[in-house]
Amino acid sequence: MGLYKPNQGHYCASVQVTWSTAPRDLSEPRLPRPGRHLPKKFERAEAMTQYDTDVIVVGGGFAGVTAARELTQQGAAVILLEARDRLGGRTWTRESGLGKSLDFGGTWVHWTQPHVWAEIGRYDLPLISSPVAEHALWKVGDEIRHGSPDVMFDLLDTGMTSVLDGSARLLPNPFHFRPVSDELKALDHITVAEKIAELNLDDEQHALVEGMWALNFSGRPEVSAYTQGLRWCALTGGNWHLLFEACATFKLAGGTKALLDAIAAQSSADVRLGARVQRIEQDADGATVTLTDGRTFTAREVVVTLPLNVLNTIDFAPALPADIRSVADEGQASTGCKVWVRVRGDVGKVAGLGPSSCALNFFQYEYDIDGDSLIVAFGRDATRIDITDRDAVESALREWIPDIEAVAVDGHDWVADDLSQQTWAMLRPNQLVAVQNAASEPHGHVRLAGSDYAEGWAGFIDGAIESGKTAAARILQSLR
Ligand SMILES: Cc1cc2nc3c(=O)[nH]c(=O)nc-3n(C[C@H](O)[C@H](O)[C@H](O)COP(=O)(O)OP(=O)(O)OC[C@H]3O[C@@H](n4cnc5c(N)ncnc54)[C@H](O)[C@@H]3O)c2cc1C
């Protein structure tokens, strides 16, 4: 997270429904939507059809907005239903109370992430880098140690390399590993904490490695699946240094909203904000989607892009498979928080990493604001600290730098947010197969998509885009 100099060679970084599988007849009449310029291949006679639209996309985060763009660009009519009063979901660029517009959810992107990187190129969006840390702090017991970031990384290296050993062999193509191999399944009961415990790390190494995984999972290593760590590292060729760089080095200069807006601008979907879906009921040929306010919409196909932890807030008829419902009930592992803090004066290009017992166990300097420093910090348990409370955040940071003064703080509690109830998706043990199975096949006319279900960078913006594109491609095949 800004600790490496990017792009340098030294880091190696019960209703039974019979699903209709018959191909769609595109000559079937439907009502073209006013003002829409459909490509010839999707043009149809102007006549009423039994559905309001071809596809309903539920959720307007990166996955939903990408799916809507892909579908409408191929001439499908789409209604996008988003419960919030804005698009973006778990990404949210907005003015902060700190003197700068900031990203309160997803932020960093990287060239190892093909889907988001291609979109950034497509829209020619400028990137900026997080500052490279010049000074590192790490915590062992009650003691704060400090030195150069390289020293801290050397201390992490043995543990991180050992934990992730074999990731590239187990997942030679981490973007396409479905169906989950027996070898990976056999490892899916193991937690990251158990894996760390197998290593003979000294206290200092243990504190750092444990803290790194709490940061990665935005949660407790004791409930975090080791396979998820293997997946992440396989996506960077088995190189944990590059993985770390991928997680927090490059940012969109205009915030994630710049990319979201660019994608949305190329979609002609009928976007309904403030539209919270309560029920999705299928029949043999399509589905009826009912909102909490009673409005209904019908479509031939539905893409549901909800975060895993809120999937069960929709009543599906017929029900989704029992295993994915139980994953959603159990919840995935992320329970953490992210907070932006304006601190008095210039604290320098500093970063800190400590064990998950710290309320804020990672922080790094990001910007100068009129002589003050803007830092971003993360903790593994959003219930432990009120990230909107200046005093609470200051006292958590004083565990690190005793005289630090928080001028103001700003953050969004994604775990308390009833439309996400989690941060970025990180699976618990024994959830992988159910999630990947749920994403790989349609459930009648309903498909599950979203970053949480991605095959590649699940938990990232890249995974959301991947998943939205895949869902759209499959729906287009089925509509054709
Ligand atoms: C604090 C934080 C930091 C992160 N940092 C990074 C990062 O640096 N880099 C990175 O790549 N990723 C990061 N992520 C993860 C990334 O932001 C997400 O994985 C990604 O944005 C998810 O996109 P999505 O479309 O799959 O889901 P969401 O963005 O969650 O979209 C789902 C949408 O569904 C809506 N919804 C929910 N219920 C209903 C309903 N019943 N009816 C209608 N709509 C509904 C929600 O309001 C939401 O808009 C971070 C996430 C968080 C929270």
For the chain, domains (ranges, CATH) are 40-88+255-331+427-479 (3.50.50.60)
Question: In the 8-state DSSP scheme, what is residue 180?
Answer: P
Q: Look at ligand 1, atom 13, and give the residue with the nearest C-alpha.
A: 106
Distance 10 CA to ligand 1 centre (A): 33
pLDDT at 10: 29
Burial status of residue 215 (CB atoms within 10 A of its CB: 0-12, 13-18, 19 or more): buried
Q: Which residues contact 284 (CB under 8 A, 6 or more apart)?
A: 17, 18, 19, 20
Number of neighbouring beta carbons within 10 Å of residue 291: 17
* Residue ID of nearest Cα to ligand 1 atom 1: 105
- Pairing between strand 277-282 and 315-317? parallel
Give me ligand 1 centre to Cα 224, in Å.
Answer: 19
Mean model confidence pLDDT for the chain: 91
pLDDT for position 480: 84
Give the span between the Cα atoms of 111 and 124, in whole angstroms.
14
What's the whole-number mean pLDDT along residues 417-423?
Answer: 98
Examine the pLDDT at 468 and tell me if it is beyond 60.
yes
Closest atom of ligand 1 to 275 CA is: 43
- The dihedrals phi and psi of 136, each to the nearest 5 degrees, come to -115, 145
- The span from the CA of 440 to the CA of 129, in Å, is 35
Residues with CB under 6 A from ligand 1: 58-64, 81-84, 89-91, 105-108, 276-277, 305-307, 310, 313-314, 338, 414, 419-420, 423-424, 450-451, 459-462, 464
Residue 8 is predicted with a pLDDT of 34
Q: What is the structure's pLDDT at 50?
A: 87
Q: Among the atoms of ligand 1, which is closest to the Cα of residue 423?
A: 53
Measured from the CA of 108, which atom of ligand 1 is nearest? 8
Which pLDDT value is given to residue 49? 62
pLDDT at 454 over 60: yes
Q: Which residues of 375-397 are buried (b: 16+ CB within 10 A; e: fewer)?
A: bbbbbbbbebbbbeebebbbebb
Q: Would you state the pLDDT for residue 43?
A: 46
Q: Where are the beta strands (DSSP E) in 36-162?
A: 53-58, 78-82, 93-95, 101-103, 108-109, 127-129, 135-140, 143-147
Residue nearest to atom 2 of ligand 1 (CA): 105
Q: Within 13 A of 408's CA, how many CA atoms are on the CB side?
A: 8
Quickly list DSSP for 392-437: HHHHHHHTTSTT--EEEEEE--TTT-TTTSSSS--PPTT-HHHHHH
| CB-neighbour burial class of residue 117 (10 A; exposed 0-12, middle 13-18, buried 19+) | middle
**Ligand 1, atom 4, residue with closest C-alpha:** 106
For residues 447-460, average pLDDT: 98
Is residue 36 over pLDDT 90? no
Distance 65 CA to ligand 1 centre (A): 11
- The secondary structure element, H or E, covering residue 250 is strand 250-252
Best of 448, 451, 469 to mutate for ligand 1, by most ligand atoms within 8 A of CB?
451
pLDDT, residue 19, reads: 30
Distance CA 316, CA 279 (A): 6
Residue 318: cis peptide before it, omega within 30 degrees of 0: yes
Mutate to test the pocket of ligand 1, among 424, 435, 467 (most ligand atoms within 8 A of CB): 424
Whether pLDDT at 34 is above 80 = no
Q: Which ligand 1 atom is nearest residue 449's CA?
A: 26
Q: Please report the pLDDT score of residue 25 as a whole number.
A: 35
Q: Of the given ranges (157-166, 336-345, 467-476), which has the lowest mean pLDDT?
A: 157-166
pLDDT value at residue 1? 42
